[in-house]
Chain A
Amino acid sequence: MKIARTAASSAALALIFSLTTPALAQNGGQTPEATQYGVTEEPGDASNGEAETSGTEVEPNRADDTGPTTTGQDATGSEAAQTGATGNSGSQNATGGSGEAPQTPNLTTEETQGGGSVERPAGSNAAEGGEAGASGSAAQARQRQEPDAWMETPDSWATFNGDLRAQKYSPADQITPENVDQLEKVWEYHTGDVSDGSGDIPTTVWSATPLFVNDTLYIGTPFYRIIALEPGTGKEKWSFDPHARLEALTQPAMKNRGVAYWQADEIQEGEACQKMVYIGTMDAKLYGVDADTGKPCASFGKDGMLDVNQWNTVNDKWPLSLLQAATVYHDTLFLGWAGKDWTNSAAPPGTVFALDARTGKLKWMFHALPNEVLETTGTANVWASMSIDPERGLLYLPISSPSPNYYGGERKQELPLATSVTALDTETGQVAWSRQLIHHDIWDYDTVAPPTLVDIQKDGQTVPALVQTSKQGFIYVLNRETGEPVYPIEERPVPASDVPGEEASPTQPFVDRPAPVIGDDWPGIDPLADAVSFGECSRRAEGYRWEGRFTPPSLQGTIAYPPTTGGSQWGGGAVDPETGIYVVNSNSVVQIYTLIPREEFEQGGQEGETSGYYAQGDAPYAFKLETFLNWAGMPCWKGPYGTIAAYDLKTGDRLWNEPFGQVQKYGFYMPESWGSVTIGGPVITKSGLIFIGASMDSRVRALDLATGEVLWKGLVDAPAVALPAVYTYKGRQYVTFVVGGNTILLPKVSDQVVTFALPE
């Protein structure tokens, strides 16, 4: 029976791993048949009947043709919004005029550490601060600051990661390991914003953490609507529809990772837009609406819309997609963007924007790459969420790899900020410190998760630490004030490239403690898959190059372990700040990296955008990415394919490591010991529970933090790939999951929002 089950399980896994490959790269690296930005399109393709010409989108400050609409209970909201906006703009004249798009024609540029630079409007206060920061003693120059009080309340879940420190921790303790099995669904809501890709609208990938703040649950949708719900019942308060273009301009799917919330320190009663909610779109527009009514804030951008693409001026081959919710700190929004680093070599260079939360005016703009390299490379952007130390005023960026992803022969310069974790001064945008995690990245090891900030007790001292997970499977624990390692990071020799033109870095940073989320060696050939393929797996493995971690891509094919799928993905980890227990889910996938000479690639008729092939612009080599499957589609490597682990940050010890989730294919569930590839991340509660969706079996789970044992499972409509929100409203603890699905895991999408609580 066990053999039969294993055989059946292997067969059912057949096609899964053909789907779990490039799409886990930068925001889903699967080569999309996306509309080429700047190319005129036939009108009518967009949803809502909008006739759009994408070629005009590069012009900044273009008004939306249709204009946003709000629906909801508050019929008087419009007037309030207008009145409030006027009043608000009046008080903000020093930084921007009401109703005017925040053009920033006069920017000054300063260099910062690591070859980066910061641009800001000439004469801004930040510019003066920037000089101070650049003078050297940045740490001393930064004054201790206070977090936003509204963000620190224990009952709320006010940011994408729960708080600015990305701890993904709730002090709620009503639901415990002892009673969690009594959890029941208290309400569910369907947004209607879902597509399986069969129609005109690309398939949806919905990873939006719900926010609970202002006694309201705020949700962003993959059609870029904002919906405000009553947290206890799920009843809709209002919704805002920007009538966004529903086209896969940079990503293969319509994606959204939530909304951001801001509120003024001192609320002016009766004035609108003292509390605002923001959502970005695929085509680089950022909308700001009143949090109580959903009405656009006229003082923000132009009538509530800011065209961020106005700052996309270098290698602007596609728009700066605003899929990840902004990070809010005091009166500033910090905003990264997503693009595609597999299509072009020269691409928009990585930038992070600091914007005035009220007006959208640019405060500063950080560039991770020096200008002199931009003819042959780009990206090194921040597409994942960020974290902030609210007391120290430091913004922590997970910076991705430079383009093109898999060949660096034309970007051999040192790019110290690429594939790094970098701390910026929130006031000035200057680099406080940076630590490169991969030198000369040719594996697409984007730093993808926000570093988790936590103080840990080690050797009798309190260490202000930062925990950074990674695709490469290492867990870096650093001092977040200095960037110095808390646990050793060792430069070790790694294999050289044998591809003409490429020069792989001779060393890479290694971390042994905490233990990497996956092993040093690839898992080896799965006997069943090998038998089914009559030795195909073994024969192919012998022909590939594998010399351990960081074996460079090659012409004959390189076993990549971990590959672009990770390791750990954008969900990152969660920490209990009281105990220092850190939890992270991860994947164990083997992929094959093959470089293809340009001439051969073009003769082969590849257009550079077919599945598994990456043009990489005009680099000498294109690239083929394939998951290591046999003819039947079974994974050639041994499982488990996904795990979840807990670490004690005080000692660096791994406390437990368990297969997580179940593979599901054609409806069939595979053995739990196989685990599941996961997308999403965990949340920890004070009572010792871990709440997590992430797996492909459409289950949401509660685990015992002490042991990793699954204590409760709930069935939802699709894989819940978003972080859950845990909050307390009117004395009752709720856990809300956004259930959007992700075609990487399963061809199953949903628009479900579901909330669980203990019986009253």
Chain B
Amino acid sequence: MSEISEPRTAGGAWLVVAASAVGALVAAFNVVDTGNGIAWSFGAWLVLVSSILVVIAGLILAWHLALSPVSRGIMAVLLLLGILGTGVAAYFLTAWILVVAMGVALVGWVIHVAADPSPLD
């Protein structure tokens, strides 16, 4: 009789979640922090939304909600695009903390792709 066990922790994905959550908080602050040069701008809203999407994608991978290899692959690619896109946008917004956050998220993504277990491991 086979034994069903919880999948092992996806550390890389959780790092993505943590970093992008910090990024989302920073992005939210940037939206409302009148006087920072980018408050209420389209760009500030854009990185807030994209940061939240990165958090959601990271959670999907961390919680092993994408079970099939194809869906996990697609999700990983989308996550990478989200991290890079948010990072580049943050660079042009001179939102340096957000750039760093996305840098950490990128490290988490690399760990996830290289070392995180699959949901069925």
Interface residues of A (CB under 8 A from B): 4-5, 8-9, 12, 664, 666-670, 697-699, 715, 717
Q: How far is the CB of B60 from chain A (nearest CB, A)?
A: 27
Distance in angstroms from B57 CB to nearest chain A CB is: 22
A4 and B84 alpha carbons, distance in the complex (Å): 12
Q: A667-B43, A667-B44, A669-B94 are in contact. Are A698 and B89 (CB under 8 A)?
A: no
Residues of chain B lying within 8 A (CB to CB) of residue A699: 37
Judging by beta carbons under 8 Å apart, are A666 and B42 in contact? Answer: yes
Bound state CA distance, A698 and B39, in angstroms? 12
Report B-chain residues with C-beta under 8 Å of the C-beta of A698: 37
- Which of B35, B37, B94 has the most chain A CB within a 10 Å cutoff? B37
- Whole-angstrom distance between the alpha carbons of A699 and B37 in the complex? 9
12 interchain pairs, CB-CB under 8 A: A5-B92, A8-B92, A9-B92, A12-B92, A666-B43, A667-B41, A667-B43, A669-B93, A669-B94, A697-B37, A698-B37, A717-B35
Q: Is B68 an interface residue (CB 8 A)?
A: no
Residues of chain A within 8 A (CB-CB) of B92 are 5, 8-9, 12, 668-670
Q: Which of A8, A9, A667, A669 contacts B42 (CB 8 A)?
A: A667
Complex: A9 Cα to B88 Cα, angstroms: 12
Q: How far is the CB of A698 from chain B (nearest CB, A)?
A: 5
Interface residues of B (CB under 8 A from A): 34-38, 41-44, 46, 88-89, 92-94
Max count, chain B CB within 10 A of own CB: residue among A4, A5, A12, A664: A664
A4-B88, A8-B88, A12-B92 given; A666·B41 CB < 8 A: yes
Alpha-carbon distance between A533 and B33 when the two chains are bound, in angstroms: 37
- Closest Cβ–Cβ distance, residue B38 to chain A (whole Å): 4
Contact of A715 among B35, B42, B43 (CB under 8 A): B35
Q: Which 8 A-B pairs have the closest CB atoms?
A: A667-B41, A667-B43, A666-B42, A668-B92, A667-B38, A666-B43, A668-B43, A715-B37
Residues of chain A within 8 A (CB-CB) of B44 are: 667
Q: How far is the CB of B78 from chain A (nearest CB, A)?
A: 19
Expressed in whole angstroms, the Cα–Cα distance for A715 and B37 within the complex equals 7
Q: How far apart sit A620 and B44, CA to CA, in the bound complex (Å)?
A: 49
B36 touches A715 (CB 8 A): yes
Residues in chain A near residue B42, CB distance under 8 A: 666-667
Q: Answer whether A668 and B93 are a contact pair too, CB < 8 Å, given A4-B88, A8-B88.
A: yes
Separation in Å of the A444 CB from the closest CB of chain B?
A: 32
Provide the residues of chain A in CB contact with B93, threshold 8 Å: 667-669
A4 — nearest CB in chain B belongs to which residue? B88
B75: shortest Cβ distance to chain A, in Å? Answer: 24
**How far apart are the CA atoms of A667 and B93 in the complex, in Å?**
6
Q: Which residue of A lies closest to B39 (CB)?
A: A667
Looking at the assembled complex, report how far the CB atom of A541 sits from the nearest CB atom of chain B, in whole angstroms. Answer: 29
Nearest chain B CB to A428 CB, angstrom units: 51
Residues of A within 8 A of B94 (CB): 669
- Nearest B residue to A699 via CB reads B37
**B31 to A, closest residue via Cβ:** A667
Give A150 to B94 CA distance when docked, in angstroms: 45
Residue of B nearest to A752 (CB): B35
A214 to B43, CA, bound (A): 45
Q: A4–B42 Cα gap in the complex (Å)?
A: 19
Least CB distance from B42 to A in Å reads 4
Q: Across the two chains, which residue of chain A brings its CB closest to B41? A: A667
A715 and chain B: residue at smallest CB distance: B37
**A756 vs chain B, min Cβ distance (A):** 15
Residues in B neighbouring A669, C-beta threshold 8 A? 92-94
A715 neighbours in B (Cβ, 8 Å): 35-37
